[in-house]
């Protein structure tokens, strides 16, 4: 049975703070970046070719992950939970009941849905390049309020930290907001002409909201508070947490995209190769990490040292494997 000792303090608390703050804006940021490139892709290809391309590039990797990587990854977890059969006996259990665990490719499935909805909307209401006004502070403030309210409502039914259909549904309003902001930014060139004063205010708000979120989490971890109340259930604590999270989500996502647009304007040979392999790396990274965790168990090192080893080696090895996967004939057309 796989059994790992817990990372000790203070590293455990530090990782908890980083994880919660990162979760608040991480996936919405990915959806925002995907949204930025969506309008031009749809405009260039047309609805039919756009949907075909998105289906191939998003659905095919998801199905491949479920068929090839879900069984071994879930087998490790099921063995830890007490499964005593062989790997081959476990394979049917990894695919049933439906839906099977999609791993990180849940993002691809949700993005496919968002892309299809956007294509249908623009089919009936075409986008005309060059139209629309610039992004303003009121737009961002309104988005914060909308995401906070929708997150609060959704979490009455699906509390933060719980999954429905293998999805963290409690964070779905943030995904929708991130993709929508990205799409509007792509259509209207928001990030190409972001007002410098607004960018400065967004940067300050981003750091302030991250500090506020970290302070809230730290206070909850040290005080005898009803943590579950902050996750949902219609409580005032849930509304407070949803508001702080929405501020982090909106301000940090916009700030990060703007910062990279202005500063990361050149790529060397290594950066280009890493960029080219990023999608394939996303596809394989969970399997790589599971293998490294299993291999590191044989090292007589403290848990903290093995954590750092797996984290560092995992990033490098995932990109190496992803780059190698792209060399398989036909794979580069999908990944």
pLDDT, one tens digit per residue, over 288-311 is 998 998 888 888 888 888 888 999
pLDDT digits (tens, 9 = 90+) for 80-114: 556 777 778 888 877 777 778 888 899 999 999 99
Confidence of residue 153 (pLDDT cuts 50, 70, 90): very high
* Arithmetic mean of pLDDT, 207-211: 92
User: Rounded mean pLDDT of 149-164?
Assistant: 89
Judge if 20 and 78 occupy the same domain: yes
Answer yes or no: is pLDDT of 208 > 90. Answer: yes
Residue 208 lies in a domain: yes
Structure tokens at 312: 């560092």
Is 90 exceeded by the pLDDT of residue 163? no
Local confidence band at 1 (pLDDT 50, 70, 90 cut-offs): very low
In a domain, 2, yes or no: no
List pLDDT tens digits, range 10-63: 777 788 788 888 888 889 999 999 999 999 999 889 999 999 999 999 999 999
Alpha carbons 217 and 219: distance in angstroms, whole number:
5
Say yes or no: 294 and 334 in one domain.
Answer: yes
Q: Identify whether 161 is part of a domain.
A: yes
Owner of token pair 């590191």? 296
Predicted local confidence at residue 178, as pLDDT: 95
Of 121 and 88, the one with more pLDDT: 121
**Sorting pLDDT into bands at 50, 70 and 90, what band is 216?**
confident
Residue 1 falls within a domain, yes or no? no
Kindly give, in sequence order, each residue whose CB lies less than 8 Å from that of residue 286, ignoring residues fewer than 6 positions away: 69, 73, 103, 104
Tell whether 131 and 270 lie within a shared domain. no
For residues 293 and 238, membership in a common domain is answered with: no
Structure tokens at 181: 């902001």
Question: Does residue 316 share a domain with residue 209?
Answer: no
> How far is the C-alpha of 283 from the C-alpha of 321, rounded, in Å?
10
pLDDT score for 112: 96
pLDDT of residue 129: 66
Cβ-proximal residues to 98 (8 Å cutoff; 6+ apart), any chain: none
Query: Cβ(205)–Cβ(247) under 8 Å?
Result: yes
Kindly state whether residues 129 and 22 are assigned to the same domain.
Answer: yes
Quick one: average pLDDT of 241-270?
Answer: 89
Final residue of a structural domain among 264, 291, 320: 264
> Is it the case that residue 230 has pLDDT exceeding 90?
no
pLDDT of residue 24: 85
At residue 132, the pLDDT reads 66
Which of 231, 264, 297 finishes a domain?
264
**130 falls in which pLDDT band (50, 70, 90)?**
low
On whether both 62 and 132 belong to a single domain, the answer is yes
Cα separation, 148 vs 244, whole angstroms:
8
pLDDT tier at 226, thresholds 50, 70, 90: low
Element counts in the chain: helices (H) and strands (E): 14, 0
Which of 208, 238, 264 is the C-terminal boundary of a domain?
A: 264
Give the count of domains, the chain: 2
Residue 253 pLDDT greater than 50, yes or no: yes
Most confidently predicted of 128-132, 165-169, 224-228, 322-326: 322-326
Q: What is the pLDDT of residue 224?
A: 64
CA distances from 74 to 6, 101, 139, 230, 290 (A): 21, 8, 42, 30, 10
Specify whether 154 is located in the same domain as 41. yes
Q: From 173, 208, 183, 232, select the one nearest 37 (Cα to Cα).
A: 183
Token representation of residue 53: 């391309």
Average pLDDT, the chain: 86
Query: Do residue 260 and residue 312 come from a single domain?
Result: no
Contacts of 318 (CB under 8 A, 6+ apart): 281, 284, 285, 288, 289
Same domain membership, residue 176 and residue 135: yes
- Name the least confident of 218-227, 273-282, 297-306: 218-227
* 3 pLDDT more than 70: no
How many other C-beta atoms lie within 10 A of the C-beta of residue 187? 22
Distance of CA 30 to the CA centre of its chain: 6
In-domain check, residue 152 = yes
User: Residue 236's pLDDT band (boundaries 50, 70, 90)?
Assistant: confident
Whether residue 63 lies inside any domain: the answer is: yes
Q: Could you give the CA distance from residue 156 to residue 125 in angstroms, rounded to a whole number?
A: 34
Q: Do 257 and 276 share a domain, yes or no?
A: no
């Amino acid at each position: 049975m796989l059994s790992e000792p817990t990372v000790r303090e203070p590293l455990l608390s530090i990782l908890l703070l980083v994880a919660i703050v990162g979760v608040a804006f991480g996936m919405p940021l990915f959806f925002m970046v995907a949204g930025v490139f969506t309008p031009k892709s749809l405009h260039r290809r047309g609805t039919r070719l756009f949907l075909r391309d998105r289906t191939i590039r998003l659905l095919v990797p998801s199905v491949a992950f479920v068929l090839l990587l879900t069984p071994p990854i879930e087998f490790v977890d099921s063995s830890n939970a007490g499964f005593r059969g062989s790997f081959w006996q476990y394979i049917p259990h990894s695919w049933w009941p439906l839906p099977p665990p999609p791993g990180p490719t849940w993002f691809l499935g949700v993005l496919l849905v968002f892309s299809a909805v956007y294509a249908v909307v623009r089919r009936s209401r075409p986008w005309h390049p060059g139209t629309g006004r610039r992004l303003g502070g009121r737009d961002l403030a309104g988005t914060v309020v909308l995401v906070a309210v929708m997150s609060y409502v959704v979490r009455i039914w699906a509390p933060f930290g719980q999954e429905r259909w293998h999805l963290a549904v409690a964070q779905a309003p943030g995904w929708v907001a991130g993709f929508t902001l990205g799409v509007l930014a792509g259509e209207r060139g928001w990030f190409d002409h972001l007002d410098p004063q607004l960018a400065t205010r967004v940067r300050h708000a981003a750091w302030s909201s991250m500090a506020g979120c970290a302070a809230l989490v730290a206070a909850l971890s040290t005080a005898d508070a009803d943590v579950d109340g902050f996750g949902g259930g219609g409580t005032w604590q849930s509304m407070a947490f949803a508001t702080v999270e929405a501020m982090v989500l909106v301000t940090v996502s916009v700030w990060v995209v703007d910062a990279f647009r202005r500063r990361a304007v050149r790529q060397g040979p290594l950066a280009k190769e890493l960029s080219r392999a990023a999608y394939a790396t996303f596809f394989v990274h969970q399997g790589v990490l599971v293998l490294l965790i299993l291999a590191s168990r044989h090292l007589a090192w403290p848990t903290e040292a093995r954590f750092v080893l797996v984290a560092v080696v995992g990033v490098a090895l995932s990109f190496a494997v992803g780059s190698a996967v792209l060399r398989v004939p036909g794979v580069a057309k999908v990944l």
